[in-house]
Structure 1
Amino acid sequence: MNGRRRVMGWGTLDCNNLTVSGARGGVTRDVTHTLQVSTSLGVSASLGSIILLFILWRLFKVTKEVVEKEYRKRFFKRNGGLLLQQILSSNKVSVDKVKLFSLTELEKATDNFNTNRVLGRGGQATVYKGMLIDGTIIAVKKFKVQGKIEEFINEFVILSQINHRNVVKLLGSCLETKIPLLVYEFIPNGNLFEYLHQQNEDLPLTWDMRLRIAAEIAEALFYLHSAASRPIYHKDIKSTNILLDEKYRAKVADFGTSRMISMDVTHLTTVVQGTFGYLDPEFFQTSQFTEKSDVYSFGVVLVELLTGQKPITLLNPEEAKGLAPYFITCVEENCVFDIIDERVMKEGKKDGIREVVNLVSRCLNLNGKRRPTMKELTLELEVIRKLEKKSNAQEDHNELVISEDYQYWDDNSTILEIKSVFDLSSRTPILEDIHSHTI
């Protein structure tokens, strides 16, 4: 009646509680099932999201690679890659000597072209110092947007064919960028202009070093003019384009404006370009560049080495004095030794200096045909160097002989002579007696 029944042997059973208890058990099972379903759905949704994200990431990566590839192709064409391919296919360039660097590789090497890595800046390019993964130190030349792409192609083609110890070595290039890049061996001691005009007293530029550097530059230019597969005119010889390696050996650099010519060609008719102070006056007047134009520029570098002065002196904002014509004037007025560097006058032999002065005068002749060739200059500089070394060796030998004779004379002769004076005379010797016996 009241929801209670008696069950035999078991007492009473509360039917209401049984009903309620059954309901509660059903709810619990329903909640558990719902949670399980929700969890499964959540895991499935999360897994699906992860898969979707992975697919999107792969799609983005593939798309990015395709876009970058298209950009590289576009940059390759814009940077003269098609022209370069055409030149390479003509077998005019030895591609085995150069490597194709990736942009990523060079960015890592230069710390993303950090301004702290800048080695130098020019009108057409900036040079950065870098280090490859294998530890090789490099110099990366980054051409400017407004620069002429022909200069990049020209330098690449020329340096790919040159193999000379006194010419900077090209390691490779990169065309995957908006701005083309060239990669060179790193030359640690800067350029000749800096070393000459900002001298360190701890490591001065001696006369012997100046002669050696001059001979090395001459040898490199002789190689370019006569020994390369085709004659090459550098067209921008100056002290800032002469680099110095770890042993301060000269390395001719910057071939952006250089030209390779046929064997039967004697000159190039081209737009006048070059560096004021080094520019051949004859080229300036005729627009015809010859191998003797390089000789004139080399002569200006020789004047720098002789005098220690800069190629251009600014007397005032409106007037500039060229070192080359001033040097020739001093030669004509017989006062050239007044402008020779003090260290050169102190360390060099006057005859040797005079020989170099004569060489310079011939290099700076306004008539290009009367200038010597680089072969002649190379041979004559080597002769001057040998004579200087021979003279120095002879002087050292004479000093050694005098030193040995003096030591023996001081230890024995002087004492004996002084003693004889005392023995032969009863009077006290005076200074004149001693002097007359010892000279």
Structure 2
Amino acid sequence: MSETGGDPLENDVTRSESVAYLREGSYKWYKGSLDDRTISIKKYEKDWIEHEYVVTDIAISAKVSAHQNILKLVGCCLETQLPTLVYESADGTLADRIYLFKDDGTRNECQPMAWQSRLKITRKIAHAVAYLHNAFSRPIIHRDIRLGNIWLNQHDVPKLAEFSLCISLPEGETFVQDDVRGSIGFLCPSYVATCRVTEKTDVYSFGILLLVILTAQRPYNLGATSDDDEEDAGLVNYVRNHAISQIVDPALMVDGSESGVLIGMEEQLQSVLQLALKCVDEDPEIRPTMIDVTEELRRIE
């Protein structure tokens, strides 16, 4: 990774178009080119910059970029008015390929992703999260695992991104106390209740990710009809109370089969569902480690 002054990076990088708004009002992503190669550019917005998060984003990104399923940080520019981070090229997020509608309500035009591709991507991202938890003397907790933070390159290779909310556990400790940070629907309830960040905080978020991959549903307000039942209308309760054929993404359904899914695929879907429900268990002790999750996904695949 390289750090440059204000002028060189601004002159060398050609910005072309905004490709995503991952956290509205905080930063924007652009496509661009640098030394004749395509890059992704993350530019923070002036009025929303919190120095602590920018520094964490850069420091953690640089530390973990060696993993093949983590978005590689190429360089950064801190001397301009707005911090700018440059990453390897990515074409869009997993959210673009799974959700039927974008955050702004417009329809996604991307082709729905095949089941085997979804399974392969989740296994690779699980390995990346396990790497964060186990490759360093102080485990790194991501705290914002969601579809919008998983980028895909032109070959659909997944890249985990967005490390500004990361926190490291003290050596020899299993948790750290901190304010609640993350994305609605993916936040671990025990973390919200206690403000304790553990490896199982990420495991819960990953479990929600698996449920979203299965259903193509957003993890909140699913089927809510009033304020009274909103709390119980989340994705976890929805999948627990419906058959697999009722919850699976319609894009994966096949006409003419008894269950609505391909022969041989139903067993995989059931296995992933059971793994996801273990990951989101209310008791953190019952949730598997990310190493266990990776191995189970490899077995299912």
CA distance in 2, matches of 1:373, 1:358: 15
Alpha carbons 1:313, 1:320 under 8 Å: kept: no
The offset of 1:125, in angstroms, is 1.6
State how far apart, in whole Å, the 1-side matches of 2:232 and 2:148 are: 16
Q: Secondary structure at the match of 1:277?
A: coil
Aligned to 1:143: 44
| Superimposed CA distance per residue, residues 33-62 of structure 1 (whole angstroms, 9 cap, x where no aligned partner) | xxxxxxxxxxxxxxxxxxxxxxxxxxxxxx
In structure 2, the residue matched to 1:358 is 274
What is the DSSP-based 3-state SS (H/G/I as helix, E as strand, rest coil) of the residue aligned with 1:235? coil
The structure where strand makes up a greater share of residues is 2
* 1:376 aligned residue (286, 289, 292): 292
- The superposition leaves residues 324-350 of structure 1 with CA deviations (integer Å, 9 ceiling, x where unpaired) of 84434542x463431112315523522
Structure with the larger RCO, 1 or 2 (CA within 8 Å, 6+ apart): 2
Rg (Cα) greater in structure: 1
Choose which of 8, 16, 23 in structure 2 pairs with 1:105. Answer: 8
If the length of structure 2 is used for normalisation, what is the TM-score? Answer: 0.85
Matched, 1:367 2:267: no
Higher helix share: 1
TM (normalized to structure 1)? 0.59
Question: Structure 1 residues 298, 323: CA separation in 2 closer, same or farther (over 3 Å shift)?
Answer: farther
Contact 1:328 1:361 in 2 (8 A): no
Shift of 1:316: 6.1
> Which of 50, 64, 68 is the equivalent residue of 1:165?
68
The gaps in structure 2 that reach 5 residues or longer are 101-107, 254-259
Whether 2:185 is the aligned partner of 1:277: answer yes
Shift in CA distance, 147/320, structure 1 to aligned 2, threshold 3 Å: farther
The match for 2:18 among 102, 115, 118 is 118
1:213 and 1:372 map into 2 onto residues whose CA distance is 19
1:317, CA displacement in angstroms? 8.6
User: Which stretches of structure 1, 4 residues or more, deviate above 6 A after TM superposition?
Assistant: none
CA offset digits 1:63-102 (Å, max 9, x no partner): xxxxxxxxxxxxxxxxxxxxxxxxxxxxxxxxxxx11233
Distance 1:319 1:185, change over 3 A: farther
SS where residue 218 of structure 1 aligns?
helix
The runs of 5 or more residues in structure 1 that have no matched partner are 1-97, 386-439
Q: Does 1:294 align with 2:202?
A: yes
Question: Residue 327 of structure 1 aligns with which residue?
Answer: 236
1:396-433 C-alpha deviation (Å, 9 max, x unpaired): xxxxxxxxxxxxxxxxxxxxxxxxxxxxxxxxxxxxxx
Is contact 1:277-1:324 (8 Å) kept?
Answer: no
1:179-198 → structure 2 map (5 Å cutoff): 179-188=82-91, 190-198=92-100
RMSD: 2.4
| Residue 346 of structure 1: aligned partner | 261
Instruction: Report if the CA contact (8 A) 1:327-1:336 is conserved.
Output: no
Secondary structure at the aligned position of 2:261 is classed as helix
Aligned length: 281
One-letter amino acid of the counterpart of residue 4, structure 2: F
Q: Percent identity?
A: 32
Q: Cα distance 1:268–1:107, how it changes in 2: closer, same or farther (>3 A)?
A: same
